Amino acid sequence: MKDFIHVRMTGALEASALLDRLDNVLPNFKWRQGDSDMQGPYVSGVNEDSVQMMWWFGEQPIDVTVSFVQATSSVSSNKALMDRLLQDVLPSMGAVVEVMGVD
């Protein structure tokens, strides 16, 4: 598994609805919502192991990135998080179009 995972999705929830959903399905992340001049609205989060996640809503398909660059968690823990995201969390929020960075 790479240090940086990029997922493209269609049909995902709007930022505010996604923020509410993420609070419920990934409560160990601290989430916030913002707006970038270049890439539009986003939701970002970080967990206690410094795994970072970003959801960009400026264009379709939506970009979701997960960064393990600064993570203090084990490789097996990171893989378990990605498995959960790819099998349960992301499909429940929209259609996954492309996944890059997962072996």
Q: What is the pLDDT of residue 19?
A: 84
Q: What is the pTM for the complete model shown? A: 0.86
The pLDDT tens digits for 60-81 are 898 999 999 999 999 999 999 9
Q: What's the CATH fold of domain 4-102? A: Double Stranded RNA Binding Domain (3.30.160)
Q: What is d(CA 82, CA 101) in angstroms, rounded to the nearest whole number? A: 11
Domain definitions of the chain by residue range:
4-102
Q: Give the largest CA-CA distance in the chain.
A: 36
The pLDDT tens digits for 10-54 are 986 777 788 888 889 999 999 999 988 877 889 999 999 999 999
Element (H, E) at 76: helix 75-84
**Overall residue count recorded for the chain in this entry:** 103
User: How buried is 16 (Cβ within 10 angstroms: 0-12 exposed, 13-18 middle, 19+ buried)?
Assistant: exposed
